[in-house]
C-alpha cells in the first residue's frame, strides 16, 4: 500500500469514480448479457414489491399529496426486477440491470455502511435445468472477471493504485464455514476466510446453522436459501473484507412456500408478486445486487465509503475521519 494517504486527490477521486462505474457497468452488461432498464425510486406502500431485507427495517414512507396512496422509497429491487422481466417479455438467457438508488434509514453508518445505497440490481431468466449451484458459481466467476477487468482499467489510468485483486474465487458453504470456526461470530468467520483466500463466495445463506441462527438474515421471498450467497473481497486499505454482492437463484413455487412457512410470513401470499411465483407464472431467475460505492471503495483503495459517496454523517464520524486524513464527500 501507498505510504501517502489518500493516493488520489479529490478531483482524481471524482474522475476515478466515473471510470470505475462506467467500466464496471459495461463489463457486467457484456459478460452477463444484461440490458439496462429504468428503475423506480418509489413503489406503492404495502404492495409487497419492496425488498423487506431482514424484515425489521423501517421503509421511508409518505403520502402522495392529495392522491389516496402512500409510497415507499425502495430498499432494493429484488422482487421488482423479476416482475419487470415478465412484463417486458424477456426470454431465457436474457436479463436486465438497473442503476438503483435507495434509502435504508436503519443502517448504522460506519466505514462500509451508509443510509444511502447505490447498486446495480440485475436479474436474468434461467431454465429449470439451470437451478443448481454450478450455475450460481459460474455466474459468480463471471462477475469477478468483470470486477478484475475494472480494476485493471483503473490501475492503467491511475498507476498509484497498486493493490492487486485476486480473481480466483474460493467457494465455501455457511455450514462448512461454521464448522471451521464454531466459536466465532459470522463476521469473524468472514474475516478469517477472506483474509486467507482474498476473494470468497459464502454459499447457502439464510437457513439456521447448528447454533440456531443463519450466517446472515435473508428475506424468505426472493433468494432460494439453498442457492444463494455473498461475494467478499479482502481490502488491504482497511485490512478487512468488503461484501460487494449478495446474489442467488431465486425462489420457485416450492422454495417460496417452504421459506415463507419457515419465516412465519405466509401472509405475504396475498401480494401479487408472491401469488405469481406460487402459481409458476413468473419466470425462473438468477440475480443480485452489486454495491457501486463499495466497489469504488475497494478498487480505489479507500478507507471509508464516504470518500466515494455523498451522504449524511454525524460529527463524531467526521472528526474521526479528519484525524485519519480521510475526506468525506
Q: Which residues are catalytic?
A: 51, 104, 119, 230, 243, 246
Q: 54 φ, ψ to 5°?
A: -85, -5
What nine digits make up the cell of 173?
458453504
CA 87 to chain centre: 24
Separation of first and last alpha carbons in the chain: 22
What is the rounded CA–CA span in Å between residue 12 and residue 10?
Answer: 5
Please state the three-class secondary structure of the chain as a single string: CCCCCCCCCHHHHHHHHHHHHHHHHHHHHHHHCEEECCCCCEEECCCCCCCCCCCCCCCCEEEECCEEEEEEECCCCCCHHHHHHHHHCCCCCCEEEEEEEEECCCCCCCCCCCCEEEEEEEEEECCHHHCCHHHHHHHHHHHHHHHHHHHHHHHHHCCCCCCCCCCCCEEEEHHHHHHHCCCCCHHHHHHHHHHHHCEEEEECCCCECCCCCECCCCCCCCEEEEEEEEEEEEECCCCEEEEEEEEEEECCHHHHHHHHHHHCCHHHHHCHHHHHHHCCCCCCEEEEEEEHHHHHHHHCCCCCHHHCCCCCCCHHHHHHHHHCCCCCC
| Strands lying side by side in the sheet with 34-36 | 34-36, 95-103, 116-125, 285-291, 240-250, 223-235, 199-203, 170-173
Amino acid at each position: 500500500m501507498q505510504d501517502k494517504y489518500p493516493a488520489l486527490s479529490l478531483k482524481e477521486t471524482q474522475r476515478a469514480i466515473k471510470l470505475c462505474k462506467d467500466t464496471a457497468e459495461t463489463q457486467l452488461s457484456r459478460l452477463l448479457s444484461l440490458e439496462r432498464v429504468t428503475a423506480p425510486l418509489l413503489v406503492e406502500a404495502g404492495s409487497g414489491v419492496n425488498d423487506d431485507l431482514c424484515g425489521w427495517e423501517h421503509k421511508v414512507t409518505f403520502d402522495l399529496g392529495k392522491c389516496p396512496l402512500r409510497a415507499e422509497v425502495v430498499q432494493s429491487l429484488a422482487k421488482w426486477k423479476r416482475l419487470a422481466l415478465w412484463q417486458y417479455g424477456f426470454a431465457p438467457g436474457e436479463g436486465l440491470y438497473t442503476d438503483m438508488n435507495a434509502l435504508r434509514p436503519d443502517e448504522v453508518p460506519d466505514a462500509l455502511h451508509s443510509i444511502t445505497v447505490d447498486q446495480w440490481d440485475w436479474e436474468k431468466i434461467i431454465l429449470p435445468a439451470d437451478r443448481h449451484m454450478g450455475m450460481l458459481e459460474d455466474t459468480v466467476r463471471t462477475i469477478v472477471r468483470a470486477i478484475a477487468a475494472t480494476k485493471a482499467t483503473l490501475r492503467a489510468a491511475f498507476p498509484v493504485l497498486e493493490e492487486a485483486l485476486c480473481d480466483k474465487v474460493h467457494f465455501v458453504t455457511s455450514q462448512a464455514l461454521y464448522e471451521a470456526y464454531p466459536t466465532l461470530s459470522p463476521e469473524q468467520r468472514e474475516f478469517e476466510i477472506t483474509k486467507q483466500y482474498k476473494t470468497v463466495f459464502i454459499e447457502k445463506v439464510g437457513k439456521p446453522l447448528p447454533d440456531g441462527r443463519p450466517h446472515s438474515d435473508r428475506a424468505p421471498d426472493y433468494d432460494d436459501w439453498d442457492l444463494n450467497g455473498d461475494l467478499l473481497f479482502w481490502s488491504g486499505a482497511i485490512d478487512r473484507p468488503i461484501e460487494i454482492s449478495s446474489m442467488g437463484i431465486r425462489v420457485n413455487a416450492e422454495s417460496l412456500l417452504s421459506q415463507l412457512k419457515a419465516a412465519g410470513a405466509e401472509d405475504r401470499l396475498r401480494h401479487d408478486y408472491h401469488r405469481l411465483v406460487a402459481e409458476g407464472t413468473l419466470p425462473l431467475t438468477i440475480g443480485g445486487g452489486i454495491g457501486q460505492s463499495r466497489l469504488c471503495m475497494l478498487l480505489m483503495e479507500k478507507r471509508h465509503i464516504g470518500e466515494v459517496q455523498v451522504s449524511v454523517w454525524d460529527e463524531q464520524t467526521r472528526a474521526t475521519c479528519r484525524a485519519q486524513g480521510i475526506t468525506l464527500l
